[in-house]
Amino acid sequence: MNRSDYHIKSYCRIRDGKISKDGELLFSDASEEFPAFIKAAYKHFETDYSKFFKMDNLSKLAFMGAEVLLRGNDEENTALILSNRASSLDTDRKHQAAISNPKGGFASPAVFVYTLPNICMGEISIRHKLYSENSFFIFAEFNPHLLSNYTNDLLETGKAKEVLCGWVDYDKEKYDAFLYVIGKKGLLAHNTEGLTKLYRTK
Amino acid sequence: MSELKQELKEKIIEQLNLEDVSVDEIANNDPLFGEGLGLDSIDALELIVMLDKDYGIRLADPKEGRKIFESIDTMAAYIEANRSN
């Protein structure tokens, strides 16, 4: 049980080739592979940010979720609290393969810079000019209780006016993002039951 | 030299994921950083690795890169003068 005075302003889901916002399907693509899907999404939303193509898959996933939720939102005091299961394992494997190549392995800067899961929060912060607190947690599964407690604390103590929060996981071409913005006013009450229900909604 | 410049443009586009840029769009004297191609500090590191891996040139001081990576012209001239591969 977790109650607060805050609300879910908006939420976004990215999985199975689909991107939805507040329960409404905004984009779908039949590409089976994530890179083709997310590139198609980038073009669909007319995103103008060439650095997107340099990002790793986890950052692209988080970036696109934030793009759907924060475009047009000029609240710079938005904190970020993200979480996932696989950390940056997808990129860690690429880095490992690059440095252990027997035919002259080397560390590619463009790869190893993404061998931390919280790098995606830096990408979001740069894009949306956020100067806020941020944290990235590794959980076995989506943990609405801890996320909502942390979010409420940031809002109650005035450390942030809004919080972009949620789950963004990428591993072995499987991806799942459930991101939401918490503020004083919004669509739905902010509590663990509501978050669990939204996360489980297909 | 012109073959080397063409090769550099292709490598830069491929290795730095410049998806929206074609070889024809990069002039030999275009600035690579800042208002030119818009490369950043990570790209600079990637270019330093490329010099070492593909041309056998190891930069002792990364600050050297500022002049070397000004444009395709300056990169090609430096590689021609210093390459061991």
pLDDT of B57 > 60? The answer is yes
Q: Is A109 on the interface with B (CB under 8 A)?
A: yes
Picking from A38, A42, A53, A106 by the largest number of B CB atoms within 10 A of its own CB, the best residue to mutate is A53
* Percentage of chain A modeled with pLDDT above 70: 98
Looking at residue A10, its amino acid is S
Residue A59 banded pLDDT, cuts 50, 70, 90: very high
Contact A148, A139 (CB under 8 A): no
Position A88 scores a pLDDT of 98
| Identity of the residue in B19, B40, B42 whose CB atom sits nearest the CB atom of A53 | B19
| Identity of the residue in B17, B19, B53 whose CB atom sits nearest the CB atom of A106 | B53
Enter the tokens of residue A61. Answer: 């996933």
Radius of gyration (C-alpha) of chain A in whole angstroms: 17
Q: How many CA atoms lie within 13 A of A160 on its CB side?
A: 25
Higher pLDDT, B36 or A53: A53
Q: What mean pLDDT is predicted for residues A44-61?
A: 94
pLDDT of A171 > 70? The answer is yes
Residue B50 to chain A, least CA–CA distance (Å): 9
* Cα gap A35→A1, rounded to integer Å: 38
Summary mean pLDDT of chain A: 94
Q: What mean pLDDT is predicted for residues A88-102?
A: 93
pLDDT of A135 > 80? The answer is yes
Q: Is A104 on the interface with B (CB under 8 A)?
A: yes
* Cα gap A155→A46, rounded to integer Å: 32
Q: Which residues have C-beta within 8 Å of that of residue A173, sequence separation ≥ 6?
A: A33, A34
The DSSP element (H or E) to which A138 belongs, if any, is strand A134-138
Residue A202 banded pLDDT, cuts 50, 70, 90: low
pLDDT of A3 > 70? The answer is no
pLDDT of A20 > 70? The answer is yes
CB atoms within 10 A of CB A5: 10
E strand map for A2-86: 7-15, 18-21, 24-28, 78-84
pLDDT of A112 > 90? The answer is yes
Could you tell me how far CA A134 lies from the centroid of its own chain? 12
Position A161 scores a pLDDT of 96
* Cα gap A116→A58, rounded to integer Å: 10
Contact A151, A165 (CB under 8 A): yes
pLDDT of A103 > 90? The answer is no
* Phi, psi for A188 (deg, rounded to 5): -135, 155
Q: What mean pLDDT is predicted for residues A155-175?
A: 96
Residue A134 to chain B, least CA–CA distance (Å): 23
* Percentage of chain A modeled with pLDDT above 90: 85
Position A147 scores a pLDDT of 97
Q: What mean pLDDT is predicted for residues A29-40?
A: 94
* Cα gap A83→A35, rounded to integer Å: 21
pLDDT of A104 > 90? The answer is no
Position A193 scores a pLDDT of 93
Residue A94 banded pLDDT, cuts 50, 70, 90: very high
Enter the tokens of residue A58. Answer: 């986890």
Q: Which residues have C-beta within 8 Å of that of residue B44, sequence separation ≥ 6?
A: B33, B62, B65, B69
For residue A7, CA distances in Å to A11, A76, A151 come to 11, 18, 11
Summary mean pLDDT of chain B: 90
Contact A86, A175 (CB under 8 A): no
* Cα gap B9→B72, rounded to integer Å: 7
* Cα gap A133→A121, rounded to integer Å: 10
Position B85 scores a pLDDT of 74
Q: Taking an 8 Å Cβ-Cβ cutoff, which residues of chain B contact chain A?
A: 15-20, 38, 40, 42-43, 45-46, 49, 52-53
Residue A158 DSSP class? T
pLDDT of A28 > 90? The answer is yes
Residue B38 banded pLDDT, cuts 50, 70, 90: confident
